[in-house]
Structure 1
Amino acid sequence: MLGAIEAGGTKFVCAVGDVSGQIIEQVTIPTTIPEETMTAVIDFFKQYELEAIGIGSFGPIDVDTESPTYGYITSTPKTAWKNYPLVQAIKEAFPVPVGFNTDVNAAALGEAAFGAAKGLDSCLYITVGTGIGAGAVVQGKLVQGLSHPEMGHILVRRHPQDSYTGKCPYHKDCLEGLAAGPAIEERWGEKGFHLVNRPEVWDLEGYYIAQALMQYILILSPKKIILGGGVMKQETIFASINKYLAELVNEYVALPELTDYIVSPGLGDRAGITGSLMLASLALQEDDQQ
């Protein structure tokens, strides 16, 4: 049996399941301070005999296995979790292989294995919610270099009629600063779900997301783009994204039919936790090969 943790800024989703992606039991634990949250996480998993655990975490995180801070949540704005040794805390409680990556990389892995990108060796998973993050699978492997991708913080062209300064504490008007949930709320004065009947809100959202997608497409050329997160539950954004993306690309590269190419998660809200199961499975495979 495998354990999986989708560690988010507001909640930890914990599950046990198997290599087929089947989830047997799942719980949700509020993200408060490490002492509270991790105690509840460990208590949940103590009920089971686990072979490995996979963690898909909010970040930034240290994914360099050669680094002395590998397994840490690093420069997060959630101050209680800054420089927190997440992998080490799990390993102390459970002496089993632990797979560790970002929550969006885990979701990309889940969608590639069992979701909207099943059967493809390439996909891009983007979450647009409290923040914006993305994970990429290329030739069947997660993209990783010096660190994990931070695609939510790319710079985009400001809409000529958008005077909002931006919400990102690091870059102000990067993609996340202009298009994540908190930016929508601050710009328009209400949470997104109260703005359903305001087409100008979602047209502007599509304007920024389409710019990001064009850059990702030209750099990574993914075979499927999957858009998840709370903001993307407002499905009218997809039409806006497709309109602006077609204008931006301007037939420079050939793309599939956009309504088939840019889609919602096939696994719904379970993309991240399913991908975390896959991280556990990969960690177990690597351990067996050593």
Structure 2
Amino acid sequence: MHKLAGIELGGTKTVVVLGAQGRIDERVEFSTTEPAETLDRAIAVIEGWRDDKPVDAVGIASFGPIRVDRNAADYGSMLDTPKPGWSGAEVVAPVLEALERPVALDTDVNGAALAEHRHGAGQGCESMVYITIGTGIGGGVLINGAPAHGLLHPEIGHVRLRRAAADGFEGACAFHGDCIEGLLSGPALAARFGTHPSRIDPDNPVWEPVAQDLAELLAMLVLTVSPQRIVVGGGVSGRQRHLLPMAIDRVPALLGGYLRDCTRHKLAGMIVPPTLGDDAGPMGALLLAAKAFDAHPIPTPASHLPV
């Protein structure tokens, strides 16, 4: 079986893994700092493994926005991102040059969506959406099991939706103010509450407009993408477990009876937490590595062929 390496490049944390499709054998985590330092460290981890465990291909599941179109002149480069120092950074080129192995790139949320579709909560679904709510908010969309690309890739975190009545919070997104990321991300909640969200009791009424904002996002996805499954992950939703059920409770009213099948019971089975937890992104990166190897297989040296 081919040895694959994956890099989940997150806005806060980078995870480097060695394994195969559906299996993580080794894992190293460290903080995402400036581009050269972060990528050099990820490369060094893989090179260390390669000393005694051949690595056949590498998958990168990265925060963004990042250019994923292989035909674009700036393929593999970061676009204008809120992460300081990363706008314009080359992500694929340093890995490809250092490791000389096939490399595949997609967004971190598309990677997580691929993993949940293949091995987790999205199994058996032709269409699904993976949402992560953490330092930022991202959304990966799969149609017929393949990530949706186009002009760029889905930037669901930056849509602007109807606000909860009488909610005066201005939002915290540097680009759009009160887009969904500016309302629901970890930094946005800290700005909204004036303290870390973990210090706010789940029964506190300040969660009401937050749940309403998340419900607006879920209703929008139901109406626009018509997914069979919406998987909601990330640190905020993982730690604030009351938030997703609160939002689901509000979705039928937002749909206004237009989709009669979308009852509270139906939605509760359709909008779910990730099965793979924190492994979704790294396992997605390994699936991308497998895709890279399938597209550009490395010939087996004659000395390694069976006799």
| Structure 1 residue ranges without an equivalent (≥5) | none
SS of match in other structure, 1:85: coil
SS of match in other structure, 2:126: coil
SS of match in other structure, 1:72: coil
Partner of 1:101: 106
Partner of 1:71: 76
1:137 has 2:142 as partner: yes
Q: d(CA) in 1 for partners of 2:129 and 2:230?
A: 5
SS of match in other structure, 1:81: coil
- Deviation at residue 81 of structure 1 after TM alignment: 1.7
Question: Which residue of the other structure, out of 76, 85, 89, is the alignment partner of 2:94?
Answer: 89
| Structure 2 residue ranges without an equivalent (≥5) | 299-307
Q: d(CA) in 1 for partners of 2:201 and 2:148?
A: 35
1:196 has 2:206 as partner: no
Q: d(CA) in 1 for partners of 2:203 and 2:87?
A: 37
Residue identity matched to 2:106: N
Partner of 1:25: 26
Tell me, yes or no, if the aligned pair for 2:202 and 2:242 is still in contact at 8 Å. no
Which TM-score applies when normalising by structure 1? 0.95
Q: d(CA) in 1 for partners of 2:132 and 2:13?
A: 15
Question: Which residue of the other structure, out of 132, 157, 162, is the alignment partner of 2:162?
Answer: 157
Tell me, yes or no, if the aligned pair for 1:202 and 1:236 is still in contact at 8 Å. no
Which TM-score applies when normalising by structure 2? 0.90
SS of match in other structure, 1:278: helix
1:174-213 equivalences in 2 (<5 Å) = 174-213=179-218
1:265 has 2:266 as partner: no
SS of match in other structure, 2:296: helix
Partner of 1:252: 258
Partner of 2:305: none
The CA deviation string for residues 246-269 of structure 1, in whole angstroms up to 9 with x for no partner, is 111133122362221111001011
**In terms of Rg, which structure is larger?**
2
Once the two structures are aligned, what percentage of the paired residues are identical? 40
Q: d(CA) in 2 for partners of 1:240 and 1:78?
A: 30
Residue identity matched to 2:282: I
Partner of 1:241: 247
Partner of 2:304: none
What is the number of residues matched between the two proteins?
A: 288
Tell me, yes or no, if the aligned pair for 2:8 and 2:61 is still in contact at 8 Å. yes
Tell me, yes or no, if the aligned pair for 1:203 and 1:237 is still in contact at 8 Å. no
SS of match in other structure, 1:226: strand
Q: d(CA) in 1 for partners of 2:235 and 2:184?
A: 12
Q: d(CA) in 2 for partners of 1:54 and 1:273?
A: 9
